[in-house]
Amino acid sequence: MKELELKYGCNPNQKPSKIFVNDGRDLPIRVLCGKPGYINFMDALNGWQLVSDLKRATHLPAAASFKHVSPAGAAVGVPLSDTLRKICFVEPEAHLSPLAAAYARARGADRMSSFGDFISLSDVCDAATASLIQHEYSDGVIAPGYTDEALAILKEKKKGNYNVIEIDPDYRPEAIEHKDVFGITFEQGRNDLQIDGKLLENVVTENRDIPDDAKRDLIISLITLKYTQSNSVCYAFDGQAIGVGAGQQSRVHCVRLAGSKADNWLLRQCPKVLELEFVPGIKRADRDNAIDVYIGEEYEDVLRDGVWQRIFARKPEVFTKEEKRAWLDGMDGISLGSDAFFPFADNIERARKSGVSYVAEPGGSIRDDEVIEACNRYHMAMAFTGIRLFHH
């Protein structure tokens, strides 16, 4: 198939719309179910590149949850603890293949942002992964293949209209890419940078010890940033992104945004949150929203208005600022990547509040010394990669 006509572009008024390969080759994708749109394919193709890079760098199955052309979550197939199973809504007895574990982590990183996402999988989708996808609200999935059982499960979603895309894993695009803006064509070399441990060799802090798990997490962070709308930073831990801040004009605002998402992921593991009791039959999205409100500053308003009775089986105690701060103060070992240099030390000050111990950024700011000094103050290890990862 040379081209695929789409319903419309980014918005319903943007017609006609289609996808094709500029050099006249056949499209490297097949639509097995549904009718994906313009934004679906933007998410799918960016996500496919991300998980392919993760698989290549870590040799583990990888998954990503994309929303509006930036990842809400990305992860590799590291087994889940009982606590992570609970916050990812995975049943204790559910079988998790490595790919299913990667997907559960990617979806569980920022569940509110992942609502209505597009999923990317590095490996052939198996039944274990499809069974997890089956219960989540999602627009579609892209993978290099599907087992018969997995495809049957996915074709049942959305009354048979769930978007399922198969991509040729051997497809390689041209080295030069083009993009039209306002009738003007931009041309550049495709960003085929291979991200691996070599980018972490230039450690510039007094603490030069970056353990292997932290190196893996920094690599996950940097690969995630390669496909995140800039400015962007990514917090990562235990084989997954836990907070992605995308498209911010100020870097410290980006660090704060991603840090608040990382904090949310960490606080969801606090016993006070894990012990919340919900009314029977509540939908997953409503649970996600309720947990977010409970962790946030709005919960006292919910208690005052009596709304909690529609959500919780019993009235939860207020999760105080002091309790939340005490829980976060006990966190450590988080990795943070940045797609460009940190211009001020305030970024490090904010990162430390979310348990960051390891940092990777390009370096090159006139205030590098101040940033390094801040890292030294908190005994962080920081590597200068020398590589910027802007994505637009």
Residue spans of the domains in the chain: they are: 3-172, 177-267+328-384, 271-318
- Catalytic residue of the set 55, 67, 157, 226: 67
pTM for the predicted model, two decimal places = 0.96
Return the pLDDT at 257.
Answer: 96
Q: 3-172 with 177-267+328-384: one CATH topology?
A: yes
Residue 301 confidence (pLDDT) above 80: no
Catalytic-residue membership of 40: no
Q: Which long-range contacts (CB under 8 A, 24 or more apart) does 37-43 make?
A: 37/6, 37/7, 37/8, 38/6, 38/8, 38/9, 38/10, 38/14, 39/10, 39/68, 39/69, 40/118, 40/139, 40/140, 40/163, 41/6, 42/69, 43/67, 43/68, 43/69, 43/117, 43/118, 43/120, 43/139
Residue 218 confidence (pLDDT) above 90: yes
3-172, superfamily in CATH?
Answer: AICAR transformylase, duplication domain (3.40.140.20)
Return the pLDDT at 1.
Answer: 83
- Catalytic residue of the set 159, 198, 321, 392: 392
What average pLDDT does this structure show over 276-291?
Answer: 89
The tokens describing 304, both together, are: 């005052």
Confidence band for 126, pLDDT divided at 50, 70 and 90: very high
For 240-270, how does the pLDDT look when each residue is reduced to its tens digit (9 = 90+)? Answer: 999 999 999 999 999 999 999 999 999 999 9
Could you give the CA distance from residue 312 to residue 209 in angstroms, rounded to a whole number? 45
- Catalytic residue of the set 68, 86, 158, 353: 68
Catalytic-residue membership of 231: yes
| CATH code linked to domain 177-267+328-384 | 3.40.140.20
Return the sign of the alpha-carbon dihedral for residues 114, 102, 337, 83: positive
Catalytic-residue membership of 202: no
Question: Contact, 90 vs 134, CB < 8 A?
Answer: no
The secondary structure of residue 226, as a DSSP letter, is H
Number of Cβ atoms within 10 Å of the Cβ of 282: 14
Residue 343 confidence (pLDDT) above 70: yes
Residue 185 confidence (pLDDT) above 70: yes
- Catalytic residue of the set 46, 163, 231, 347: 231
Question: Contact, 132 vs 104, CB < 8 A?
Answer: yes
**What is the average pLDDT score of the chain?**
94
Catalytic-residue membership of 67: yes
